[in-house]
């Protein structure tokens, strides 16, 4: 056990770094270190092939759900393998129900496709956010109102709603079933099957034991690059202690609250709110303010954000869970006692999935980079468009190369582990961008499997056209250049 005290981080914000971690704590655990030593030989054995398919999506999370749907719509036979009992990953089971910005600073929805389709299919009371006519509006009063409700930044109302996670799980599950996707829950991918530098499938573990799933193309949507990293694909793992980039924590929700009373207090009593923050930091060591959710009686907590522990180390993961569960209790007690609107709050749910922001990032054929931010260039292999971090920058062209491993065939990556630099990861890991790269990887995997070519050799024009037909915004470089 370590007696090292966690360090509370100073908030350091900049244009490139708009969130920091709350706590930096390197390898301090509340439990005794493991005592395992040496190795053992796992006996070789023959295992059953569960299924042969065209496209296997490993991880039915944020990106994986979009990938499976997009691949199935190319006519491919698709399987999605998921370790938990639902789709959506962090965006549902991880309680990250605040879907970040999908609009540019003029209010145009630039992340559409899966993002638009799924939200349009949700019942109206499962979505909380500003109506369409307000997106892009620069009005102080409206921006102030929506800033507190997750949907205004830099004085501009945007499209960044909060969603009901249970309806998301159900809606996406039905969409995939309608499209003919075979869903395999409760199954954990353990190792990829690699032959001659190409991924051919995976071995997975379930209550039935170990089995194999073979595919023409595998899409790694595990968020941690489990497939490409174990198959020998290169990846980056940089850590900056003060940055939110590498921090993790389990999200939680308190119920029985009156959010309108809390928001009224936040907005109209700034001095009392500052006092409450101070008291929170003194009492708890840090203070995590709640976010709104899709309901007035549910408050969402997406911190305290802890860095220094690795979300691909099982002891660190355990430690993060232990601490996050304790934070939930202490925050609930503190808020009940001191925060207007929280007098009757109770602990509704801690997320079933650890909130991981970053572990590994693919080394791809291409990548999204900070140098791109100011240029506004339409890349020739664009597979989608991301909103930029501030009105100072134009929208950002997301290249297909960011999904293709530099040196591995048979596999594509989508979601928070795509190829990008650390700065660009700050927005490329957000839910809409994971939907975007998921849909693109799924469409490309379907095209590759149908044509019998490796993902790196697909006709990018065909992938772009497939994505446009599926409702995604993919610009044409030729048209952009002609328009000046
Ligand atoms: C605390 C927190 C707050 C955040 N806040 C926001 C926010 O406000 N707005 C926003 O837009 N984004 C936010 N994000 C970012 C966003 O939620 C994630 O980056 C995004 O959801 C990641 O999507 P993904 O598909 O890459 O990974 P995930 O959604 O994690 O999906 C990975 C899936 O793969 C499965 N899986 C993993 N390994 C295996 C395996 N070996 N075998 C089988 N299945 C496997 C997992 O169970 C999971 O379902 C936040 C993230 C965190 C952690």
User: Pick the residue with more confidence: 14 or 411?
Assistant: 411
The pairing of beta strand 188-195 with beta strand 198-206: antiparallel
Phi, psi of 86 (to 5 degrees): -155, 170
CA nearest 219: which of 111, 326, 367, 82? 82
Pocket test for ligand 1, best of 61, 118, 304 (most atoms within 8 A of CB): 61
Considering only 235-244, 256-265, 332-341, 451-460, which range has the smallest mean pLDDT? 235-244
Q: Which of 247, 223, 182, 251 is nearest to 63 (CA)?
A: 223
pTM: 0.96
Confidence (pLDDT) at 306: 85
Please give the distance, rounded to the nearest whole angstrom, from the Cα atom of residue 88 to the centre of ligand 1.
8
The mean pLDDT value for 445-472 works out to 98
Centre of ligand 1 to C-alpha 426, Å, is 14
Look at residue 19 in the predicted model and tell me its pLDDT: 57
117 CB less than 6 Å from ligand 1?
Answer: no
**pLDDT tens string 334-374:** 999 999 999 999 999 999 999 999 999 999 999 999 999 99
Q: For residues 156 and 134, what is the distance between their CA atoms, to the nearest angstrom?
A: 9
For the cut 50, the answer to whether the pLDDT of residue 11 exceeds it is no
Report yes or no: 244 and 21 within 8 Å, Cβ to Cβ.
yes
Q: How far is Cα 266 from Cα 271, in angstroms, rounded to an integer?
A: 9
Alpha carbon distance 421, 144 (integer Å): 32
Helix (H, G, I), strand (E, B) or coil at 78: strand
Q: How far, in Å, CA of 69 to CA of 439, rounded?
A: 7
Q: Any alpha helices (H) in 45-203, and if so which ranges?
A: 62-72, 114-121, 140-147, 165-178
Ligand 1 atom with the smallest distance to the CA of 82 is 44
Query: For residue 117, how far is its CA from the centre of ligand 1 (angstroms)?
Result: 20
Assess whether the C-beta atom of 59 lies below 6 angstroms from ligand 1.
Answer: yes
Among protein residues, the one with the nearest Cα to ligand 1's atom 20 is 431
How much distance in Å is there from the Cα of 16 to the middle of ligand 1?
22
- Indicate if ligand 1 lies below 6 Å from the C-beta of 55: no
C-alpha 69 to ligand 1 mean position (Å): 17
Q: How far does residue 482's CA lie from ligand 1's centre (Å)?
A: 39
Q: Residue 24's pLDDT band (boundaries 50, 70, 90)?
A: low
Relative orientation angle of helices 165-178 and 114-121, to the nearest 10 degrees:
110
Asked if residue 221 has its Cβ within 6 Å of ligand 1, the reply is yes
**Three-state DSSP class for residue 438:** helix
Q: pLDDT-derived band of residue 27, with 50, 70 and 90 as boundaries?
A: low
| Residue 285: predicted pLDDT | 85
Over residues 447-465, the mean pLDDT reads 98
pLDDT at 423 over 60: yes
CA atoms within 13 A on the CB side of 39: 3
Helix, strand or coil, per DSSP, at residue 95: coil
Residue 484 has pLDDT above 80, yes or no: no
| 399 closest CA partner among 466, 462, 448, 464 | 464
Q: What number does the ligand 1 atom closest to the CA of 81 have?
A: 43
What confidence tens digit (pLDDT) does each residue in 306-326 have?
A: 888 889 999 999 999 999 999
pLDDT tier at 239 (50, 70, 90 boundaries)? low
Q: Are strands 48-58 and 361-362 parallel, antiparallel or unpaired?
A: unpaired
Compute the distance between CA of residue 391 and CA of residue 380 in angstroms, rounded to an integer: 24
Ligand 1 atom showing the smallest separation from residue 65 Cα: 25
> pLDDT per residue over 262-283, tens digit each?
999 999 999 999 999 999 999 9
Atom index in ligand 1 nearest the CA of residue 417 equals 26
Cα distances (angstroms) measured from residue 464 to each of 284, 382, 459: 50, 8, 9
Rounded to an integer, what distance in angstroms lies between the CA atom of residue 388 and that of residue 100?
A: 12
Q: Does the beta carbon of 361 lie inside 6 Å of ligand 1? A: no
| Ligand 1 near 115 CB (within 6 A) | no
Residue 1 above 80 pLDDT? no
Pick the atom of ligand 1 nearest to 188's CA.
42
Considering only residues 13 and 289, tell me which one the structure prediction assigns the higher pLDDT.
289
CA-based R_g, the chain, Å: 22
* Centre of ligand 1 from the C-alpha of residue 425, in Å: 13
Q: How far is the CA of 59 from the centre of ligand 1 (A)?
A: 10
Q: Would you call 123 exposed, middle or buried from its count of C-beta atoms within 10 A (0-12, 13-18, 19+)?
A: exposed
Q: Please tell me the residue having the least CA distance from ligand 1 atom 13.
A: 430
Cβ of 284: how many Cβ atoms within 10 Å? 15
Atom of ligand 1 nearest to the CA of 100: 11
Map out the domains of the chain as residue ranges.
Answer: 47-142+160-237+359-484, 248-356
Backbone angles phi, psi at 59, to 5 degrees: 100, 105
Give pLDDT tens digits for 32-83: 999 999 999 999 999 999 999 999 999 999 999 999 999 999 999 999 999 9
- Of 354, 105, 86, 58, give the one whose Cα is nearest residue 217: 58
Q: What is the DSSP letter of 185?
A: -
For ligand 1, say whether the CB of 302 is within 6 Å of any of its atoms: yes
Find, among 368, 430, 452, 446, the residue nearest to 403 by Cα. Answer: 368
How far away, in angstroms, is 165 Cα from ligand 1 center? 13
Ligand 1 atom showing the smallest separation from residue 291 Cα: 8
Atom of ligand 1 nearest to the CA of 150: 8
pLDDT at 226 over 80: yes
Q: Establish whether residue 356 lines the binding site of ligand 1, counting it when its CB lies within 6 angstroms of any ligand atom.
A: yes
Looking at domain 47-142+160-237+359-484, its CATH architecture is 3-Layer(bba) Sandwich (3.50)
From the CA of 89, how far away is ligand 1's center (Å)?
Answer: 5
pLDDT at 307: 83
Name 275's Cβ contacts closer than 8 Å, sequence gap at least 6: none
User: Is the C-beta atom of 57 inside 6 A of ligand 1?
Assistant: no
Q: For ligand 1, is residue 98 a contact (CB within 6 Å)?
A: yes
Q: Report how far ligand 1's centroid is from the alpha carbon of 439 (Å).
A: 15
Ligand 1 contact, 252 CB (< 6 A)? no
Q: Ligand 1: distance of its center to the CA of 223 in Å? A: 6
Q: Given this model, what pLDDT does residue 477 score? A: 72
pLDDT at 9: 47
Cα 361 from Cα 342, distance rounded (Å): 39
Distance 127 CA to ligand 1 centre (A): 20
Average pLDDT, the chain: 93
The CA-atom distances, in angstroms, between 268 and each of 11, 150, 152, 299 are 24, 18, 18, 19
Tens digit of pLDDT for each residue in 178-196?
999 999 999 999 999 999 9
What does each C-alpha distance from 444 to 193, 338, 370, 404 come to in angstroms? 21, 52, 25, 10
């Amino acid at each position: 056990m370590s007696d090292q005290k966690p360090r509370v981080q100073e908030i350091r914000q900049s244009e490139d770094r708009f969130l920091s971690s709350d706590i930096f704590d390197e390898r301090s655990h509340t439990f005794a270190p493991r005592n395992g030593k040496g190795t053992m030989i796992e006996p070789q054995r023959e295992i059953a092939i569960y299924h042969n398919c065209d496209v296997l999506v490993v991880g039915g999370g944020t990106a994986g759900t979009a990938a499976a749907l997009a691949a199935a719509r190319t006519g491919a036979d698709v399987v999605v393998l998921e370790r938990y009992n639902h789709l959506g990953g962090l965006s549902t089971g991880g309680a990250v129900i605040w879907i970040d910005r999908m609009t540019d600073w003029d209010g145009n929805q630039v992340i559409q496709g899966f993002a638009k389709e799924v939200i349009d299919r949700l019942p109206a009371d499962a979505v909380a956010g500003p109506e369409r006519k307000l997106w892009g509006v620069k009005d102080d009063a409206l921006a102030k109102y929506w800033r507190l409700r997750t949907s205004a930044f830099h004085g501009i109302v945007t499209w960044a709603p909060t969603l009901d996670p249970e309806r998301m799980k159900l809606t996406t599950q039905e969409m995939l079933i309608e499209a003919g996707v075979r869903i395999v829950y409760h199954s954990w991918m353990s190792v990829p099957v690699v032959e001659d530098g190409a991924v051919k499938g995976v071995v997975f573990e379930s209550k039935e034991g170990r089995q194999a799933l073979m595919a023409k193309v595998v899409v790694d949507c595990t968020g941690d690059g489990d497939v490409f990293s174990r198959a020998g694909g290169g990846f980056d793992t940089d850590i900056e202690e003060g940055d939110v980039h590498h921090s993790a924590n389990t999200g939680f929700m308190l119920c029985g609250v009156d959010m309108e009373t809390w928001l009224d207090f936040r907005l109209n009593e700034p001095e009392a709110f500052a006092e409450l923050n101070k008291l929170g930091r003194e009492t708890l060591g840090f203070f995590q303010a709640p976010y709104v959710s899709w309901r007035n009686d549910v408050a969402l907590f997406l911190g305290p954000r802890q860095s220094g522990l690795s979300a691909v180390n099982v002891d660190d993961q355990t430690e993060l869970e232990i601490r996050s569960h304790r934070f939930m209790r202490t925050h609930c007690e503190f808020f009940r006692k001191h925060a207007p609107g929280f007098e009757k709050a109770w602990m509704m749910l801690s997320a079933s999935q650890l909130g991981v922001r970053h572990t590994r990032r693919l080394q791809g054929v291409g990548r999204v980079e900070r140098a791109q931010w100011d240029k506004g260039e339409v890349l020739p292999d664009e597979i989608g468009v991301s909103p930029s971090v501030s009105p100072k920058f134009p929208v950002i062209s997301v290249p297909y190369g960011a999904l293709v491993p530099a040196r591995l065939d048979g596999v594509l990556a989508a979601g928070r582990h795509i190829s990008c630099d650390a700065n660009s990861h700050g927005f490329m890991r957000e839910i809409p961008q994971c939907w975007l790269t998921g849909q693109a990887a799924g469409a490309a995997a379907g095209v590759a499997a149908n044509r019998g070519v490796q993902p790196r050799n697909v006709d990018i024009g065909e992938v772009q056209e497939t994505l446009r037909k599926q409702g995604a915004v993919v610009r044409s470089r030729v048209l952009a250049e002609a328009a000046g």
